[in-house]
A and B are shown apart, each in its own frame.
Chain A
Amino acid sequence: EDELSLLVIVIDTNPIWWGKRALGEAEFTLSKCIDAVMVLGNSHLFMNRTNKLAVIASHTQESRFLYPGKRWASADPFGDGGSSMESNCSGSKDGKYELLTAINDAIAEEIKDLMTKTEMKGQQTETLLAGSLAKALCCILLITESSKPLSNQEMKSRILVIKAAEDSTLQYMNFMNVIFAAQKQSILVDACVLDSDSGLLQQACDITGGIYLKVPHMPSLLQYLLWVFLPDQEQRSQLVLPPPVHVDYRAACFCHRNLIEIGYVCSVCLSIFCNFSPICSTCETAFKISLPPVMKAKKKKLKLA
């Protein structure tokens, strides 16, 4: 029985982070990262005839689908990609399966286009990760719906995020909305973090049941991808994988951004404060302060002489 498994890879292509890396030591560059991702994608498609793949690049200006891109929409994008694709690509030069060559070429074309031709507008330095995850969820929904009439098997989907730059705390609310939506649809979110630990992705992996891994040695990225992130949900229970990380679920107070263990929550807007204050700074509600009951002064009875 063939099980349908869909893997969506979201790659962080923050040009500022990758640019800084290229200036430093050129051992691990974006092209090496994309090579590793291509091998992972090909391996996933090899695991089972019916597996499906999608790759999204997360940039500071936009999120772009590297595969399947718009040029695939004219043909059946999630089918075998047979005859109509051969007219687009030059054919496999090393005897590789046609579909994989086509996919690798499409990814390479799109990423070159994205990195060279995108205009950098404004002052944004942060990756639009929440937006890419939202588009990934919509894409998973589309593929799940379109494959429902073809087979009775349930489609199991997961998203792998390869994160390079730091977290963007401004996207917290959108990110949490996306993660709760993924949890509701039973979609796993795995995270492979290249540089600095990401609290948001740790929470995401904990909530959805995925694996979080901070890569100790970046040039060996492919080994980690194939070892940890290639097996699907059912196979994971039979393997020894990195243990769950300790997730810090403490809330940050709205006034100082400190992590607190005990705080005060406004009942109207649910903002969290570390100290009691009579007015909520977010929604400007005046709070009712319960005072101890006022004792009436007892009237002293005057003794009449």
Chain B
Amino acid sequence: EILKEDESGSLKATIDDILFKAKRKRLYEHHGQVRLGMMRHLYVVVDGSRTMEDQDLKPNRLTCTLKLLEYFVEEYFDQNPISQIGLIVTKSKRAEKMTELSGNSKKHVTALKKAVDMNCSGEPSLYNSLNLAMQTLKHMPGHTSREILVVFSSLTTCDPANIYDLIKCLKAVKIRVSVIGLSAEVRVCTVLARETGGTYHVILDESHFKELLMHHVSPPPASSSSECSLIRMGFPQHTIASLSDQDAKPSFSMVQLENNSEPSLTLGGYFCPQCRAKYCELPVECKICGLTLVSAPHLARSYHHLFPLDAFQEVPLEEYKGERYCQGCQGEMKDQNVYICKVCQNAFCVECDLFVHDSLHCCPGCIHEHPAPISV
């Protein structure tokens, strides 16, 4: 962006313009009528090699990456509540799993926080980390989307075998690999992303890094070969018992028993409808009978991906002839543009427009029209 002075020598107008455009940049186009992969299994491979100690990202690349990944994990489970994430770290020519594939965000965030003290050494191995991820992902059911996201900072990789053969295997098993490069473009990553159908970007700075990570939060378009199936799920009731109830029996939660972390007896919880095993949180896969347990709001969280909101029409304030009040917040319109919903023709200010598209996912004007009942 070039800073230009206006006639009186002031920069204010250009700065306002730049700030305004920065606010708007966050909205990106959705894909339209494309089938999305809603149930995702994603492995995040973090480079742990010597180059991660570089200080071009503050305080160093590793700390910056781990902090952004914590934020990414939270956003990911917010937008895809029935999906799973696993973490792999690669250094000293080997790859090891930091956490297994699971839908529990706390486990991943704890592991990421602990990894800040990790010692970065050696060279990464792209082959080993992709192989390790593939071993688990190839057994995942066909209707889920299998993805790997690699955060790659080194310019070299040390592989025990021909990586192009591995790329062919990944393509055959329908795994989509995307790479975010921290240093410069590496040819093998370009080929990897292109062949498997993923994306490859190299970051410019920290905010660009965050933006690229956030692109991976939304569900990707499903590949044509992914199967569609009817998945059997359970919707357990939440029982809140208190000591005064006669039937209240304290019991262990299955997850705590597995973690060996001081299992405690609790009275309430979610009971699997098939085998009556108890769990404290949802969504979870029942360890006894294998049924996926979710609650209706978890599925409802993903509905806005299926019915995305169209972008509003941008009209300069001088040309807009209606009342100068935003229909959402009732505030006066002070920005240079107003945003008009094409369906209900209501006008909104820029803050409401951003809020509606980022968080609300439904136009406050349109939901005042009474919807027609869904015909079954």
Contact of A137 with B229 in the complex, beta carbons under 8 Å: no
Q: Which chain B positions have C-beta within 8 A of A248?
A: 237
Q: Does A207 contact B (CB under 8 A)?
A: yes
Q: Does B331 contact A (CB under 8 A)?
A: yes
Which of the residues A63, A70, A260 comes within 8 Å of B368, measured between beta carbons?
Answer: A63
Contact of B371 with A170 in the complex, beta carbons under 8 Å: yes
Q: List residues of A (124-167) whose CB comes within 8 Å of B's CBs.
A: 124, 126, 128, 130-131, 134-135, 137-139, 141-142, 145-146
Q: Which chain A positions have C-beta within 8 A of B140?
A: none
Q: Does B142 contact A (CB under 8 A)?
A: yes
- Mask, A209-229, CB within 8 Å of B = 1, is 000000000000000000000
How many Å lie between the Cα of A277 and that of B229 in the bound state?
10
Q: Which chain A positions have C-beta within 8 A of B273?
A: 261-262
How many Å lie between the Cα of A197 and that of B152 in the bound state?
54
Which of the residues A176, A260, A261, A276 comes within 8 Å of B297, measured between beta carbons?
Answer: A176
Q: Does A264 contact B (CB under 8 A)?
A: yes
Contacts A70-B325, A249-B235, A268-B35 hold; do A139 and B330 have CB atoms under 8 A apart? Answer: yes
Q: Which chain B positions have C-beta within 8 A of A22?
A: none
Contacts A124-B370, A177-B362 hold; do A264 and B230 have CB atoms under 8 A apart? Answer: yes
With an 8 Å Cβ cutoff, the count of chain B residues facing the other chain is: 60
Contact of A139 with B329 in the complex, beta carbons under 8 Å: yes
Q: A residues touching B (Cβ–Cβ < 8 Å)?
A: 62-63, 65, 68-70, 73, 122, 124, 126, 128, 130-131, 134-135, 137-139, 141-142, 145-146, 170-174, 176-178, 180-181, 184-185, 203, 207, 244, 246-252, 254-255, 260-270, 272-273, 276-277, 280-281, 285-288, 290
Contact of A270 with B302 in the complex, beta carbons under 8 Å: yes
Which of the residues B78, B237, B327 comes within 8 Å of A249, measured between beta carbons?
Answer: B237
Q: Which chain B positions have C-beta within 8 A of A122?
A: 370
Q: Which chain A positions have C-beta within 8 A of B351?
A: 141-142, 145
How many Å lie between the Cα of A249 and that of B297 in the bound state?
8
**Between-chain CB contacts (< 8 Å), 20 pairs:** A128-B367, A130-B367, A135-B329, A135-B330, A142-B326, A142-B331, A142-B352, A145-B351, A170-B370, A170-B373, A172-B300, A177-B304, A180-B297, A249-B235, A249-B238, A250-B235, A261-B235, A263-B234, A265-B231, A268-B228
Q: Specify the main secondary structure of chain B where it touches its partner.
A: loop
Contact of B230 with A134 in the complex, beta carbons under 8 Å: no
Residue of B35, B238, B364 ringed by the most chain A CB atoms within 10 A: B364
How many Å lie between the Cα of A304 and that of B329 in the bound state?
93
Contact of B352 with A138 in the complex, beta carbons under 8 Å: yes
Beyond known contacts A142-B329, A261-B236, A285-B228: 19 more, CB 8 A cutoff: A73-B330, A131-B364, A131-B368, A135-B328, A135-B330, A138-B329, A138-B352, A141-B329, A173-B303, A184-B359, A251-B296, A260-B235, A264-B230, A266-B231, A267-B231, A270-B38, A270-B302, A280-B230, A288-B229
Q: Does B301 contact A (CB under 8 A)?
A: yes
How many Å lie between the Cα of A31 and that of B71 in the bound state?
48
Which of the residues A70, A178, A267, A290 comes within 8 Å of B330, measured between beta carbons?
Answer: A70
Contact of B303 with A176 in the complex, beta carbons under 8 Å: yes
How many Å lie between the Cα of A128 and that of B329 in the bound state?
17
Q: Which chain A positions have C-beta within 8 A of B60?
A: none
B221 to chain A, nearest CB (A): 12
Q: Does B22 contact A (CB under 8 A)?
A: no
Which of the residues B291, B360, B362, B374 comes within 8 Å of A262, measured between beta carbons?
Answer: B291
